[in-house]
Structure 1
């Protein structure tokens, strides 16, 4: 029983072709070098005969021999130039094949990441469900436990929605990477968000307008159509005025498919007329509520 030969990859195929063409070029160059040396010899001989005043017949034979070698050198030089073009073309093809191989490896890694997230989701869902079940199936009832159960369920839904979206984005990025037209959206998927103040309680939310708020003495500005960790104290006002929405909202899923997750640390001009000051918005709502109570 014969052995099956492994099929060469595109990179291996072009590497082999390049080596063959380079070897062929070397042979042509060696032949041309010998022909040039012979041509120099024929020219020298013809020159000596002419200087010595040799008979016309000898001169004609010397010139004919010289022209024959010149034609051979011309033909070999043309063949060498053509071979040089083939070598250059093969080098470009090899570079393209290597780039495609690297893109495929990167795309495989992105797809593997999406697969790993999807495989981890059932464990997360089971764990969150167990926490909720521990409260809902208990005979005892406490407000704190019920509030905890509700929060866990909300987080569970939010994370499942976010995981679905990020897996979709990762697979879209893998397709673009494999095709060689990956854009900034890929970097937005793969680059981690800037670290935020750990002491501030936040919720992952999707922006519908450019926003700003103050945090630890600094002004934070985020673009529209971006995933951000918004301080929970600003969340109610932002939701009521529809400047943000939850990740599992249907319109957010559509917007993320259109715009991607975006980058929450993009440069936003302070003079942007669409920029919404969430601190001012929340303060205004607080003032209105106090006025109504009074």
Structure 2
């Protein structure tokens, strides 16, 4: 029967190498200590001979033996220094391997989150579709039920589009995490967490142009290439003129990868020549329809 060895991880490999080098360094340190003891003894002998007035021949032999052990001690100390450098290098490699292991674990968790969202999204879509069918397939026409069905269908489209976008962003974040990029920032999350205001029905959308519109007494200005909540009343005209795009569009995913989700610049200035006035576009279309009628 064939037995297969478990593949050793980089962390385990570096830990094993570090243990071996530390053990070898300990043995080398013991050899250095032993030879330095011999050096001390040889120096003491040479000193006693010199003090006692020994002959030149005896002093020469003592000096030769002293120099030999000193050279030996010098070589062993150099090898000990080399062991220290190898241990320091291995410790750095071990730290890098542990950091990579942590990044891989975090990336795996992010990918698991994306997979879980993808698995749950069809169930949500089916449930929302069943609610819509309960109204649209009924023979009775009730305005309240129709409005409910329309709202549910809009929420379904928006949630499924947002699910596609966040799964793509999560997988991009996992790739950046594995490569060691610590800036794991999914710019859309902060936007997705902001619920639309109750006063105005809105749609989370991605801008392709610098836009402006009015909400009561407030004038909203948003940059191009940003996630914004656009009033549903302005959404059709913005889509027709291709100033915005749905989140699940393939080009939106590419643009988010290039520009991010918060725009290539801050809030546009009021006199920005590239500002597109959505209110003016909507009014112009309304005027054209009135003239045609």
Provide the secondary structure at the position in 1 that maps to 2:186. Answer: helix
Q: Which runs of 5+ in 2 are unaligned?
A: none
Residue 256 of structure 1 corresponds to 253
Residues 126-158 of structure 1, C-alpha deviations (whole Å, 9 max, x = no match): 211110110122121134433432343343233
8 Å Cα contact 1:110-1:174 kept in structure 2? yes
Aligned to 2:45: 45
Q: CA deviation at 1:227?
A: 2.3
On the 8 A contact 1:165/1:253 being kept in 2, the answer is no
Tell me whether 1:135 sits opposite 2:162 in the alignment: no
* Structure-2 change in CA distance of 1:10 and 1:288 (3 Å): closer
Unaligned runs of 5+ in 1: none
| TM-aligned CA distance change 1:83 to 1:183, over 3 Å | closer
- The equivalent residue for 2:119 is 119
Contact 1:204 1:229 in 2 (8 A): yes
Q: Give, in angstroms, the shift of residue 243 of structure 1.
A: 1.7
RMSD over aligned Cα, in angstroms? Answer: 3.5
| 8 Å Cα contact 2:158-2:203 kept in structure 1 | no
Distance 2:263 2:288 in 1: 36
Distance (Å, rounded) in 2 between the aligned partners of 1:218 and 1:60:
101
Tell me how far 1:23 sits from its aligned partner: 2.6
CA contact (8 A) 1:206 1:246 kept: yes
Q: Secondary structure at the match of 1:259?
A: helix
Looking at structure 1, the residues matched to 66 and 16 of structure 2 have their Cα atoms a distance apart, in angstroms, of 39
Q: Which residue of 2 aligns with 1:64?
A: 64
Partner of 1:93: 93
Distance 1:49 1:220, change over 3 A: farther
Partner residue, 1:78: 78
Distance 1:283 1:212 in 2: 10
Aligned equivalent of 1:172: 172
Q: Is the 8 A contact 1:125 1:156 kept in 2?
A: yes
Give the Cα–Cα distance (whole angstroms) in 2 for the partners of residues 253 and 150 of structure 1: 25
**Cα distance, 1:277 vs. partner?**
5.7
**TM score, norm. by length of structure 2:** 0.81
Structure 1 residues 274 and 244: alpha-carbon distance in aligned structure 2, compared to 1, 3 A threshold: farther
